[in-house]
């Protein structure tokens, strides 16, 4: 199974993210835009995992503790030069609880034998990939929600459609 740990959103937050995605799509020459049900923040990407590794990931998730925290989405940006195909995202604030949760999860996963991306944690929600547009990164009217849980997500293609399914959950303390 292809797995990652994520923060998923309420339908109200997803609707606001969809407004941003749809605005981007309307100003793009082309791109592949995120499905509503796939909007999330990745805390740790684990890749292909077998049953034993999945069991270990669940145990790691159960071992972390975190208090509910607020996610505030406050900007739209891109990864890439902007002179071609780029990945566009909605960016969230980096609060102390989120940073601590990310660090604790990744430290425990690495200690359990997983190899994780070493890039600096940049909490974002992918709006579109391979996007060609004249749009520019910008600040937006902030919106968000209080996060009470994180999910272990399975990523698979079903009938040609990228589908994410929660297979385990850790609720805040």
Contact 60, 111 (CB under 8 A): no
pLDDT at 83: 63
pLDDT band at 173 (very low <50, low <70, confident <90, very high): confident
Judge whether 148 counts as a catalytic residue.
no
Phi/psi at 109 (nearest 5 deg)?
-70, -40
Judge whether 168 counts as a catalytic residue.
no
In angstroms, the CA 138 to CA 134 distance is 13
Catalytic residue from among 40, 102, 148, 168: 40
- DSSP three-state, residue 35: coil
Q: Which DSSP category does 134 fall into? A: S
Structure tokens that stand for 87 in this block:
């990945």
pLDDT tens-digit readout, 84-128 = 668 999 999 988 999 999 999 999 999 999 999 888 899 999 999
pLDDT tens-digit readout, 18-46 = 999 999 999 999 999 999 999 999 999 99
pLDDT at 118: 84
Fold of 2-171: Cyclic Phosphodiesterase; Chain: A, (3.90.1140)
Catalytic residue from among 102, 124, 148, 168: 124
Contact 71, 7 (CB under 8 A): yes
Q: What is the pTM of this model?
A: 0.92
H/E segment holding residue 25:
helix 11-26
pLDDT at 96: 92
Contact 163, 155 (CB under 8 A): yes
């Amino acid at each position: 199974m292809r797995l990652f740990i994520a923060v998923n959103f309420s339908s109200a937050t997803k609707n606001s993210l969809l407004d941003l995605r749809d605005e981007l799509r309307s100003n793009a020459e082309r791109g592949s835009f995120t499905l509503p049900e796939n909007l999330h923040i990745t805390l740790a990407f684990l890749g292909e995992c077998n049953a034993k590794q999945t069991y270990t990931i669940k145990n790691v998730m159960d071992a972390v503790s975190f208090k509910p925290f607020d996610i505030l989405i406050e900007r739209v940006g891109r990864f890439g030069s902007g002179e071609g195909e780029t990945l566009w995202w909605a960016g969230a604030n980096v609060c102390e609880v989120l940073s601590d949760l990310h660090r604790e999860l990744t430290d425990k996963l690495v200690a359990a034998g997983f190899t994780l991306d070493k890039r600096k944690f940049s909490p974002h929600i992918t709006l579109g990939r391979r996007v060609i547009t004249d749009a520019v990164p910008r600040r937006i009217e902030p919106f968000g929600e209080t996060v009470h849980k994180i999910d272990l997500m399975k990523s698979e293609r079903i009938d040609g459609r990228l589908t994410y399914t929660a297979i385990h959950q850790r609720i805040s303390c």
